[in-house]
Structure 1
Amino acid sequence: MADQLVVERAGAIATIVLNRPESHNAITLGMYQEIPSIVSDLDSDTSVKVVVVRGAGERSFASGADITEFEAVRGNARDARQYNEYVARAEQALTTLRKPSLAMVHGYCIGGGCGLALACDIRLADERARFAITPAKLGLVYSLDSTKRLVDLVGPARAKWVLMSGKQLTADDARSWGLVEYVLPAEELAGTTYELAAEIGTRAQFSVRASKEIVTRIGAGQHADDEYTTNLRNSSFDTEDYAEGVRAFLGKRAPNFTWS
């Protein structure tokens, strides 16, 4: 999968590139199978602070699963169930990545491509982007985990509209519905995405990752601190970054955080 999935590194930012521009970055079974190990490697790499996911070129993030594989990898019920497991593992790998992740969406973000984008923490799109999730066009049912990510962003009624109709949303509609956080001119998307990634990388990483975990727990239904979240919050006071943050605040200078 080295040619279909490319990992680029620039300082503390790693980018996972869906690299099939000739097919609008349609996602093959092999790509789904490879994503968890790539994400795991980036999660354990202390030099990486932020992960960006994008499609090659500027026409598409990903147009969905590669339909040319359907007969070979999803031609019967047993194979289809196994295929769905690989999709779920790829999305779950991004969701459970301890580090922040940004989806940079040029153009089409359809089906499984939208599933990967929703598994990231923050989505930025160009003004030409189009979003759709299309199980009703294929006779499929999406997993509860994948569906919940959509519901958490747009609410139950709009999630039903997206899933039942399979219709495309414009970038502006996707933003107004909460599916994406930023919509930008195409020529500004990469710059803004990587500026945000770099800015997050300068922040106290213990705080960044703890905040991500707590938000995830709230989304999973936790409504009050338990022993784990209380200890997580209190343990921040023991970090060198907390001491540095206080020193920098009192000294009226930018902090130099070192925890990774």
Structure 2
Amino acid sequence: MIEVSKEGGLWIVTINRPDKANSVTRAMLEQLADIAETAQGAQALILTGAGKVFSAGADLDEARAGLATDPVWERLSGAIAALPCLTIAALNGTLAGGAFGMALACDLRLGVPDAKFFYPVMKLGFLPQPSDPARMVALVGPSRARLVLMGGAKLTAIEALSFGLIDRIIPKETLIDDARALATDALSATPAHVAAIKAMCV
């Protein structure tokens, strides 16, 4: 359910469970974290989903069994954030719940026009993953982070762009091509050069 395509220094990682809105199980999260932890040779990594939704968050059955608060979410977002390469979340559709963490940990976020963005932890009675609020605040500011995390706001792609949650709205049919284009300069540079510039952008 997790697919990895390698094109030289470019890794494309796809969540492929469209029949379940790309909801993720613990095994899928562990696989994603393993990939992120072993992608040290990549110069750019694109994270995307199959179908109409990027990810609806935790698989419902496993969420009820404790996945919603499992530390594997934090392991995954931490591994993505620690990568020295350029990381791009190519959000092919709605981003919801715990899946926010992996997107927030990326360097860039692209969204399609009909995507929605919501993180209903207040309503569901869970705390967000530990690093997610700080990363969201860094992008959108504290008030808008509270709007999402405490007010339960469901953002449109246009709102997410205006807030700074995503960086561009891209037609779905060109989403991966546009993500590849943004990775072009990183792919033509040395890994050390990519890592050095990334380290300066904090």
For 1:57-96, what aligned pairs fall within 5 Å after superposition? Answer: 57=51, 59-71=52-64, 73-74=65-66, 83=70, 85-96=71-82
Q: Distance in 1 between matches of 2:146 and 2:128?
A: 12
CA contact 1:24–1:63 (8 Å) conserved in 2:
yes
Q: Distance in 2 between matches of 1:106 and 1:131?
A: 12
Q: What's 1:161 paired with?
A: 147
For 1:32-111, what aligned pairs fall within 5 Å after superposition? Answer: 32-43=29-40, 45=41, 48-57=42-51, 59-71=52-64, 73-74=65-66, 83=70, 85-111=71-97
Q: Distance in 1 between matches of 2:118 and 2:68?
A: 21
Q: What's 2:177 paired with?
A: 191
CA contact 1:35–1:93 (8 Å) conserved in 2:
no
Measure how far apart 1:24 and its partner are: 1.0
The count of corresponding residues between Structure 1 and Structure 2 is 202
Q: Does 1:27 align with 2:21?
A: no
Task: Tell me which amino acid in the other structure corresponds to 2:34.
Answer: S
User: Residues 204, 157 of structure 1: CA spacing in aligned structure 2 closer, same or farther, 3 A cutoff?
Assistant: same
CA contact 2:84–2:194 (8 Å) conserved in 1:
no
Q: Distance in 1 between matches of 2:89 and 2:58?
A: 17
Measure how far apart 1:172 and its partner are: 0.8
Give a deviation string over 1:86-108, Cα, whole Å, max 9, x none: 11101111011111100000111
Give a deviation string over 1:208-259, Cα, whole Å, max 9, x none: 211212323xxxxxxxxxxxxxxxxxxxxxxxxxxxxxxxxxxxxxxxxxxx
Q: Distance in 2 between matches of 1:26 and 1:80?
A: 12
Q: Distance in 2 between matches of 1:141 and 1:154?
A: 19
User: Residues 200, 80 of structure 1: CA spacing in aligned structure 2 closer, same or farther, 3 A cutoff?
Assistant: closer
Off by >4 Å, runs of 4+ in structure 1? none
For 1:210-229, what aligned pairs fall within 5 Å after superposition? Answer: 210-216=196-202
Greater strand content: 2
SS of the residue 1:201 aligns to: helix
Alignment equivalent of 1:202, drawn from 185, 188, 197:
188
SS of the residue 1:165 aligns to: coil
SS of the residue 1:192 aligns to: helix
Q: Does 1:5 align with 2:2?
A: yes
Q: What's 1:116 paired with?
A: 102
Q: What's 2:11 paired with?
A: 14
Task: Tell me which amino acid in the other structure corresponds to 2:36.
Answer: V
CA contact 2:98–2:129 (8 Å) conserved in 1:
no
List gaps (5 residues or longer) in structure 2: none
Q: Distance in 2 between matches of 1:92 and 1:170?
A: 27
Give a deviation string over 1:146-166, Cα, whole Å, max 9, x none: 110000000000000010122
SS of the residue 1:166 aligns to: coil
Q: Tell me the TM-score normalized by structure 1.
A: 0.73
Q: Distance in 2 between matches of 1:195 and 1:18?
A: 21
Greater helix content: 1
Q: Distance in 2 between matches of 1:204 and 1:49?
A: 8
List gaps (5 residues or longer) in structure 1: 217-260
Measure how far apart 1:120 and its partner are: 0.7
Measure how far apart 1:35 and its partner are: 2.1
